[in-house]
Structure 1
Amino acid sequence: MTSSRVVQLPQKLTPASVSKFGCDLHALGPAGGFVFDFGHQRWFPPFSMVLLAMHLRRFRERHPQAEFYARNFENHGYAAHMGFFKTFGLDHGNAPGEALGSPTHVPIQSIRRSELVEQASKAYVEIGVTIEKKAASLSSILTQTETGILHDTLTYSIREILRNVFEHSDAEELFICAQHWPSRHEVEVGIVDAGIGIRAGLAKNPSFQFETDRESLHAALMPGVSGNIRAGKGSDPWRNTGYGLYMTNRICRAGGCFFICSGDAGLWLEGKRKLDVPSDLRGTAVRLFLDTSQLVDLRDRLAGFHKDGIRAAREIRGANRSYASAASQMLTRDFR
């Protein structure tokens, strides 16, 4: 076994650079120790911060015999406040969920399946209702309001990603981090889990047995594609139909961009542009980025996306060709 090895973080923490760093990191061989150099001035965006933390956490798990050291971490007060360092095990700054949010950001926090189930049980409601309330609460922190197009869009988008994680990934926990820049008309939300990943999730359905993570990732964003063989069946408004990721990525692409990675595949979507990004992630990570100046009425937008989805699903073998669930078609407040 070799002596300690120095690992430098990327200078710019973009989704693509962090994803590539994860590939390089997990390709490293064993060593007696690893020294992670966090450098000097560096901006930690919400998604990149939580994705990077999950890569570092996994790396430590894969090298249980190695010693781990950090240097220059004291230079990053914002990341420390947001819970970045303690998310992967460095005793510095706040723990996930410890820091209070502000009118502009939601620090890294853990959302556990068991807590959502317990809340639903106590209130005698479906878990989908507790997920809805959690998403609305996070949106209210970012927007400082409980109404309006931005609040509705964020609540819808966060809710659909949370539902997707807990319905398909087998993950018991996910991490979320978000920030709103009103003067720049931008909102970014990052959600990462360490579940079974997109390909294994879809493989629960015999119709979607893909050989690569890339194929499964592209398929998962198509309408009606789900690992649940009962997708679209039943009358429960929270039933799985395979339209959650499709509707959410359409919202982001219409006014911003969408990034998702799982296994060895990543995909950046912006307008009609698609870009494959290398990845090495156990689980799934999703970045929602919205240009708030481009938002229009969500109700009309969802209706249009839904019609497009139904038409497209007819061309996809094994897809749910009926309708998206009520939850994936419209705002929850419309059917409460």
Structure 2
Amino acid sequence: MINVINMKYDKMMKMTKYLEEKSYFVNKGDNLKFHFSNLNFIEPAGAIIFLSTIDRLQEDEIPYELESIQDIERDAISYGETMGIFQKLGLSSARSFSEGTNYIAPTKVVISELFALLDEQDKSIETYYDEISTKIVRKVLRNLAFQADEAVKDLFEFVLREIVRNIFDHSQTSHFYYGSQTYSATNSVEVVIADLGLGLLNTVPFNVEETWFDNPSDEDAIRKAIIPGLSAFSNHAYAPEDYKNSGYGLALVKRIIEKTDGVFSIASGKKTITYNSLGEFVEDCDLIGTLIRMRINLNNLNLVNFDEVLEDARKEAVSKGYSDSPSSASQKLKSQNI
């Protein structure tokens, strides 16, 4: 039995680790049941981890049960219904809202359906990168009544565009989730984006010596993924030259968030690493694909000099023997379609 009390990032990561330790992800005979009677808190990051875990159980045909919420009177249950979380789990038919005063509810995007829609509308995937990043940024800034100048908006959109672009370039996922939460007290925003694809260990390149002698781990893959100039195995044949990746996307995103005194978490496979002003924190988990969580201090975003960040990344790439030429899309705050 899994008693879900706080549907938050750290708690849900620990839940995935527990499920792995108890062999729930492979054992089809055990009675796995999730209870919500003591649910106290929900945030989009935790909800997305939970939803993707249920997706995984369904895809692997692992039997499970979800406690009915019909007779549970708790604020967190009502909030979850408002966000459409329990509707996605098949536990509620109540009216839900994709956006609220302080959130964008966890949203599932099916890749095949997205490409069909883009084809119908005669739009490119690059246009979608722009549209989804602009949607999130405008929503967040409006919620916080934050008077950002154009450069700040562009920088925020760049961060999101690079994360979404990585999903299509590398993950080979069938679908992904995104959501956000704003915190007016600290003038900050948390955005989470997750796919159920190959995971970093299967897409980040390791050389022959590393593979032969070191037996690379998920933690190794995460650390490599944020090295500038290290291009992952990609699936971006669809993209124009502007978007051919050269391994700078995540590296630039991490640097930008750090300069805002924010939080950057990346989880893939059996590890999650969180970077913040206090250092880095490594925890165990068990995920299919890759999840990225960003908490950005908007008050500090206007202090970030993109050109300096780019130059620092170039220097690190050269020092480590990797490419010193980011893709042209990664060198632009604005994409080519704006």
State if a TM-score over 0.5 links the two structures.
Answer: yes
Q: Is the 8 A contact 1:174 1:194 kept in 2?
A: yes
CA distance in 1, matches of 2:64, 2:235: 47
1:70 to 67, 70, 81: 67
Change (3 A) 1:223 1:203: closer
Compared CA separation, residues 229 and 197, structure 1 to 2 (3 A): closer
Aligned to 2:92: 92
In the alignment, is the contact (CA less than 8 A) between 1:143 and 1:150 conserved in 2?
Answer: no
1:308 and 2:312 equivalent?
Answer: yes
* 2:264–2:293 Cα contact (<8 Å) kept: yes
Q: Secondary structure at the match of 1:183?
A: coil
Q: Which amino acid is 2:125 matched to?
A: I
Q: Counterpart of 1:99 in structure 2: which amino acid?
A: F
Alignment-mate amino acid for residue 7 of structure 1: I
Q: Give the Cα separation in 1 of the matches to 2:314 and 2:209.
A: 18
SS at match of 1:33: coil
Q: Deviations over 1:176-222 (max 9, x none)?
A: 11122233311011111110000101249879856211111100011
Q: Indicate the SS of the match to 1:237.
A: helix
Q: Specify the code of the residue in structure 1 equivalent to 2:255.
A: R
| Counterpart residue identity of residue 220, structure 1 | A
Match of 1:224 in 2: 229
Written as runs of structure 1 = structure 2, the 5 A alignment for 1:47-58 is 47-58=45-56
Task: Give the SS at the match of 2:267.
Answer: strand
How far apart are 1:147 and its partner, in Å?
6.2
Please give the TM-score of this superposition, normalised by the length of structure 1: 0.83
TM-score with structure 2 setting the length: 0.83
Percent of aligned pairs with the same residue? 20
1:260 corresponding residue in structure 2: 266
Q: 1:320 aligns with which of 302, 320, 323?
A: 323
| Map of 2:57 onto structure 1 | 59
**AA at the equivalent of 2:10:** A
What is the deviation of 1:68? 1.0
1:142 maps to which of 136, 140, 143: 140
Return the letter of the residue paired with 1:295.
L
Is the 8 Å Cα contact of residues 25 and 59 (structure 1) preserved in structure 2? Answer: no
Q: Indicate the RMSD between aligned Cα atoms, in angstroms.
A: 3.1
* Structure 2 residue 159 is matched with structure 1 residue 157: yes
Change in Cα spacing, 1:105 to 1:229, as seen in structure 2 (3 Å) is closer
Match 2:200 to one of 186, 198, 201: 198
- The separation in 2 between residues aligned to 1:13 and 1:107, in whole angstroms, is 14
* Equivalent runs, 1:109-148 vs 2, <5 Å: 109-118=107-116, 120-121=118-119, 126-144=124-142, 148=150
Structure 1: distance between partners of 2:127 and 2:179:
21
Q: Quick one: distance in 1 between partners of 2:64 and 2:152?
A: 45
Q: In structure 1, how many angstroms separate the alpha carbons of the residues matched to 2:99 and 2:190?
A: 15
Q: Which residue identity lines up with residue 12 of structure 2 in the other structure?
A: V
User: Which residue in the other structure is 2:12 paired with?
Assistant: 18
**What letter is aligned with 2:294?**
L
- Which residue of the partner structure matches residue 170 of structure 1? 172
Which is worse superposed, 40-49 or 303-312?
40-49
Aligned length: 320
Bigger Cα displacement from structure 2, 242-251 vs 288-297:
288-297
State the match for 2:81 in structure 1.
80
Give the AA of the match of 1:100. S
Contact kept? 2:68, 2:91, Cα under 8 Å? no
Deviation at 1:291, TM superposition (A): 1.5
Aligned letter for 1:265? K
Q: 1:215 aligns with which of 209, 214, 220?
A: 220
Report the equivalent of 1:295.
301
Partners of 1:147 and 1:333 in 2: how far apart? 18
Please report how far the alpha carbon of residue 153 of structure 1 lies from its aligned counterpart in structure 2 after TM superposition.
3.5
Deviation (angstroms), 1:162: 0.6
Gap regions ≥5 residues in structure 1: 1-5
Partner secondary structure for residue 280 of structure 1: coil
Q: Match for 1:248: what amino acid?
A: V
- Give, in whole Å, the separation in 2 of the partners of 1:208 and 1:109: 37
The CA distance in 2 between the partners of 1:208 and 1:141, in whole Å, is 43
Give the superposition deviation at 1:276: 0.9
